[in-house]
Amino acid sequence: MRAWTWDVFCRVIDNFGDVGVCWRLARDLAARGERVRLWMDDASALRWMAPAGCTGVEVGAFDAAGEPGDAVVEAFACDPPPAFVERMAARRPVWINLEYLSAEAWVERAHALPSPQRNGLTKWFFHPGFSAATGGLLREPGLLAERAGFERDAWLAALGAARRPGERVVSLFCYDNPAIPQLLQALAAEPTLLLLTPGHAQRQVGAVPPGVRPFALPWLDQPGFDRLLWASDLNFVRGEDSLVRAIWAGAPFVWQIYPQHDGVHADKLDALLQRLPPLPGLAAFWRGWNGLGPWAPLPPLDAWRAVAAAFRDEQAARLDLTGSLWQFARARAGPEC
């Protein structure tokens, strides 16, 4: 089967998730032999997220997209430029709107629905998700094998953050969070090396109680960020992409969901909690960290580890998002493809 050319459109709304998801998808498609053109209105985060670029992925300015290829992916309903959409009517690529990740039940009903467009084409809704009735989660082939062979002490030492004997490792990637002082107190119960990502985490963690040893990280590239999560016994993540990476890390994780003004994020958080294997105290801890309930004690890591591993295995048994998107698009292409 011939390789396809994919046009992936990405508008940066806020933070790094838009870039992070689009870059991972682009890289994964290219690794599977496809040709990818990633059209972005702001590619600045790629300087640290993907400084080496990727063979098979070309990055261009959002409005500079020329002739459409075989498939067009607009990330998060970002609407390709009108002139490009006009050209699509002649070329008739498969047109996909890649939606935000949610564990809510409605996603299964919305996934893969067609939406007829004014230019005569059909735009397909493609929803990432946690069940077989969704598009799945981004997971590159070989990721879990790489993770299994990872040597965390060597990696931490190379970063200048060698672990001291008996220390547990905790990573923190978060938004503004008034619960940070409580978290630091909870972590101080055991010797803890606390790895702080740039931005919100480093800004908010000032003085720490005895027992907690903070380390300020530089921006890591995406493979480096994955390794940070692999190196840690407990990961605090946020948004969409780092959540998925924490699942593949297979270690206990806490999700700070992107807060929305209408409060719908509380339902999204609960929907994911309901999909996790049960662990007493986990939901209360996640809600407390998200300001959706009172602060609650940190659940014991031993029992939590088993829950995280079980959830990783359950999710890894499903087709990954890129594979699922590839199949979906090929099944909807004209006979000449």
Torsional sign, CA 288, 253, 24, 28: negative
Q: How many CB atoms lie within 10 A of CB 113?
A: 13
> Residue 64 has what DSSP assignment?
G
Q: How far is C-alpha 252 from the geometric centre of its chain's CA atoms?
A: 16
Shortest Cβ 2–ligand TRH spacing (Å): 30
Which is catalytic among the residues 99, 240, 241, 320?
Answer: 240
Q: Is 239 near ligand TRH (CB under 6 A)?
A: yes
Catalytic, 67? Answer no
Residue 252's region, left for phi above 0, alpha for psi from -120 to 50, else beta, is beta
In whole angstroms, give the CA distance from residue 325 to residue 215.
39
Using the minimum distance from each CB to ligand TRH, give the nearer residue, 242 or 315: 242
Catalytic, 74? Answer no
Q: Which of residues 33-92 bind ligand TRH (CB under 6 A)?
A: 49
Q: Is residue 3 within 8 Å of 71, Cβ to Cβ?
A: no
Beta strands (DSSP E) in 11-127 are 35-40, 57-61, 71-75, 94-98, 114-116, 122-126
Helix axes 17-31 and 241-249, enclosed angle (nearest 10): 60
Q: Which of residues 110-139 bind ligand TRH (CB under 6 A)?
A: none
Binding mask 2-41 for ligand TRH (x = CB under 6 A): -----------xxxxx--x---------------------
Q: Which two tokens stand for residue 51?
A: 């400084």
Q: Which of residues 149-188 bind ligand TRH (CB under 6 A)?
A: 173
Binding mask 281-320 for ligand TRH (x = CB under 6 A): ----------------------------------------
Using the minimum distance from each CB to ligand TRH, give the nearer residue, 19 or 88: 19
Shortest Cβ 282–ligand TRH spacing (Å): 20
Helix residue ranges, H only, 222-300? 222-231, 241-249, 265-275, 282-289
Shortest Cβ 234–ligand TRH spacing (Å): 16
In the complex, residue closest to ligand TRH by CB: 17
Active site residues: 18, 240
Q: Where does this chain bind ligand TRH (CB under 6 A)?
A: 13-17, 20, 49, 100, 173, 197, 219-222, 225, 238-242, 258
